[in-house]
Amino acid sequence: MAAGSFAERIGIRITEVGSDYLRATMPVTPDLHQPYGILHGGVSAALAESVGSVAAGLCVDPERFMCLGQEINANHLRPVSAGVVTATARPFHIGHRSHVWGIEIRDEQGRLTCVSRLTLAVVPRRVSAP
């Protein structure tokens, strides 16, 4: 699903899918740092949106619908400069036209580093003419 995508390029790997969550990891490397030597907030937001989008996509018929990000917010709570972060997405709302997901990002010690809320539109796929 993410082959050749931005998510693959920054090292996001889906590690676990549960009945009400999806979990992924991402290495924190210097090329993902902001100038102060810590994980760039935009990268945390990209991780959150990637994990939430995949989770939402698993809740719809992918041949009929796709889930597209509409709004994301992120609160950065603790800096991370190295290691691996783990993002866990859980749904707040799964509707026919929209989804809202909460994503927690934690460091290797299990400390909360970022919380995010992602709203996605559930959009019908266009049918190609034969």
Just list the catalytic residues: 49
Side-chain-facing half-sphere of 16: CA atoms under 13 Å: 11
Tell me if 63 sits within 8 A of 121, measured CB to CB.
Answer: no
- Among candidate residues 20, 17, 15, 18, the one with its CA nearest the CA of residue 91: 20
Place of tokens 């009945």: 19
